[in-house]
Amino acid sequence: MYGRKLAPGPIPADLPVTALVDDFFLAYNAARLREACHLFVEQMLEPDTTVCLTISGALTPAGLGHAAFVPLIEAGFVDWIVTTGANLYHDLHRSLGFELYQTSPLVDDVRLREEGIIRIYDIVFEQDVLFETDAFIRRALTAPEFRGRMGTAEFHHHLGRYVRERERLLGLPHRSLLGAAYEAGVPIYTPAPGDSGLGMNVAALRLQGREIGFDPELDVNETAAIVYGTKRAGGKSGLLILGGGTPKNFALQTEPQIQEVLGLDERGHDYFVQITDARPDTGGLSGATPSEAVTWGKVDPNQLPNTVVCYADTTIALPILVAYALAKRPPRPLKRLYERRAELLDALRTDDLARPADAGGGRT
């Protein structure tokens, strides 16, 4: 009648992470993290579910690209990604052989500036790391495959190949998010490509007269096609949302694009797990709660029980969720959605054009 009895025993010294989550994360946001782990492992990682990971906040400078995102990609637990460009840019530093260091957040920033040191809260690195990373990016972008406008998935795929080659050449243990996604065929989208060192270097090359640029409309259509193709084939769509911001909304807007703009029959994403420290009552929880997202058609109303919001620091909750998933589930076959983008986009276009002109949606 009342649910699970709360009567945990003493915590043992050799407690595995799975037992920690299952037996001791019992109330408040610990319980929400347990529910997130269970939903992710028991339902979202079923073979018929396509999983999108969205990333905001400075997670890769803390090392979570190599530590958490790469294992998820290689295990087949993530099929497509939406992230800030900054997370991709700062993940490149270690791939180029540079070091980032832990420090106290209570430092003299004026002195750091004088010494050429960059700070991201309690992470520091030399300013030259930025200059060398920019130089690598610009060299890579002179390759012929970067000519013309392209979607960010294609841009990141080509760049991921060069990053992976540099990691191998240097013999580095570090695996980058871009390099791992390139090898696994996982498309990575950045909804605000100009808002990072990657976009800044593209802009610099444009200023110098080079034909290079992003195609944001293609990104909107490709991501909608991924979700539509999944549901059209009888599968399900799940979102693992870290933080909020533009990546969260960009992944969620695939459903309004399908339903509202294109006028195609769809009901919303099936699974929704979010780890965030933002609040909905201040307007700071981007995309808001799963129940609010139902009103936009972003989440299937019949699937609200399959949604969890854990109000916690991502840098604490993510390693626990990843360790739990890797311990509980064997790897899934890679869906390699990057290689299926054209096929999925053609299917979306065909169904859009076949819809009667008076059926609603974006056509007139």
Show which residues are catalytic: 298
Quick one: DSSP state of residue 43? I
Quickly list H helices, the chain: 17-24, 28-39, 64, 70-74, 85-95, 109-114, 127-141, 152-170, 177-184, 197-207, 216-232, 245-252, 254-256, 290-294, 314-328, 341-354
The crossing angle, in degrees rounded to 10, of helices 216-232 and 341-354 is: 80
Residue 93, token pair as written in the block = 């530093």
> In Å, how far from its chain's centre is CA 110?
34
Contact (Cβ atoms closer than 8 angstroms) between residue 95 and residue 172: yes
- The letter for the amino acid at 338 is Y
Quick one: DSSP state of residue 303? G
Three-state SS letters, 220-281: HHHHHHHHHHHHHCCCEEEEEEECCHHHHHHHHCHHHHHHHHCCCCCCCECEEEEEECCCCC
Contact (Cβ atoms closer than 8 angstroms) between residue 34 and residue 321: no
Strand 212-214 to strand 271-276: parallel, antiparallel, or no bridges (unpaired)?
A: unpaired
- The letter for the amino acid at 349 is R
Burial code (b: 16+ CB inside 10 Å, e: under 16) for 128-148 equals ebbebbbebbeebbeeeebee
